[in-house]
Amino acid sequence: MGRDPNSDLAGSGGERATHRPDLICLSHLRWGFVFQRPQHLLTRCAKGRRVFFVEEPVDGVDSPRLDIQETASGVHVVVPQLPSGLDEPQSHALQQQLLDEMILKHAVEDHLLWFYTPMALPFTRHLRPRAVVYDCMDELSAFAGAPPALREREVELMRRASLVLTGGLSLYEAKKDRHPNIHPFPSSVDVAHFARAREKGSEPADQANIPGPRLGFFGVIDERMDVDLLAAVARARPDFQIVMLGPVVKIDPADLPRLPNIHYLGKKTYDELPLYLAGWDVALMPFARNESTRFISPTKTPEYLAAGKPVVSTSIRDVVRTYGELGLAKIADAPGDFIAAVDACLAEENGPGHEQQRRARLARVDSFLAETSWDETWKRIEALMDTETRAASPEGEGN
């Protein structure tokens, strides 16, 4: 259990385990939504410094306040609670006031700012961090419902940032000329966590009665999903049972294909995912090819591989060149080609000599994954951060 959220989070500076500056993260994503890149990085960050993860506000209260809860990993999740009906300047003014109160109450003096969203700039410009980090994990301006001001504010954030990280190689290539200190950090993986799926255990109750062969997907189900491809595959092959795990956001659930062999099982926790993966025959990434997927580097790719599953994906650029070209994932776009790729995976897993083929495939996978881990990724990022904090005075902004 975490400490009382109303207590002094870490006492005096002399009581801290390290002398690294605190980190205040501004995020458009909720901490408890899906366990992905921010959670992987910042839980590791919290082992060496205080981390405050500030979410977008929730409205509907009479008086503005901050709800702060400490997670088991030590990250302090901060949720601004605001009255309804505020315009943008009023919302920003209250968020700034609440943030300042948090900083004062919890004695946040020497600190870093870590941005996932440029839209947090209006209520953080007055702060004087040791350094500013922009972890650009997606091209947010290409997503459905993106605020019109996002592009302009990203230009400002790029100017202010001391260090810029990107969530994939394509995103790095698109932005590398916009900042002198920008580094690609593609998706990594906790191999041991997902390798649990290589040993079959008890089936989750909502998947146990679904026959095989099972083709599975986990992740956010949104405008990046190629629903037409999903429907075409399911219609053409009623013997395929397609398991879809994850929340549906930003699209109408009624627009998803509803067929007897597509099973929407909802959001699952990070700890539950290996239990579901263990019962799949093939893991899928049926992403659409549009502006919202142009720069994505799906974290689920190495997670599927660590689970020991063959992977079939549409031609997402970072998947093609990182995994497809090495033979670690099959790439197909048209329904017929996608089905053929799935059939090839099933034949390799169940056909003559399949045990030998599976061992050879897993050996290639394990050799590749040995080069990456979230622990190693965080060590490299923190080394870059430490360089910036040493170079900047506490009063500066890292520029």
Beta bridge partners of residue 182, listed in sequence order = 164
Report helix, strand or coil for 364.
helix
Q: What pLDDT sits at residue 393?
A: 56
pLDDT tens digits, one per residue of 223-245: 999 999 999 999 999 999 999 99
Rounded Cα gap, residues 84 and 82, in angstroms:
6
CB 82 within 8 A of CB 64: yes
Closest CA to 199 of 77, 308, 319: 308
Q: What pLDDT sits at residue 349?
A: 84
End-to-end CA distance of the chain: 39
**In this structure, how many other beta carbons lie within 10 angstroms of the beta carbon of residue 297?**
24
Say whether pTM exceeds 0.75.
yes
Rounded Cα gap, residues 213 and 198, in angstroms:
16
Rounded Cα gap, residues 277 and 275, in angstroms:
6
Cα distances (Å, whole numbers) of residue 227 to 205, 222, 261? 26, 10, 14
CB 46 within 8 A of CB 33: no
Closest CA to 368 of 282, 306, 307: 306
**Could you tell me whether strands 111-115 and 22-26 are parallel, antiparallel, or unpaired per DSSP bridges?**
parallel
Torsion from C-alpha of 9, 13, 18, 22, nearest 10 degrees: 60
Rounded Cα gap, residues 229 and 88, in angstroms:
39
DSSP state, residue 236? H
pLDDT tens digits, one per residue of 115-173: 999 999 999 999 999 999 999 998 877 776 778 888 899 999 999 999 999 999 999 99
Polymer length in residues for the chain: 399
Listed in sequence order, the residues at least 6 apart from 268 whose beta carbon sits closer than 8 Å to its beta carbon are 218, 245, 246, 276
**Going from the N-terminus, what domains does the chain have, and what CATH number goes with each?**
13-188+374-391 (3.40.50.2000), 191-369 (3.40.50.2000)
Beta strand ranges found along 160-220 (DSSP E): 163-166, 182-184, 214-218
Closest CA to 261 of 223, 228, 215, 219: 215
151-156 contacts: CB < 8 A, separation 24 or more?
153/118, 153/119, 153/121, 154/118, 156/118, 156/121
Q: What pLDDT sits at residue 3?
A: 35
Q: Which residues of the chain, if any, have pLDDT below 70?
A: 1-18, 144, 393-399
Q: What pLDDT sits at residue 350?
A: 81
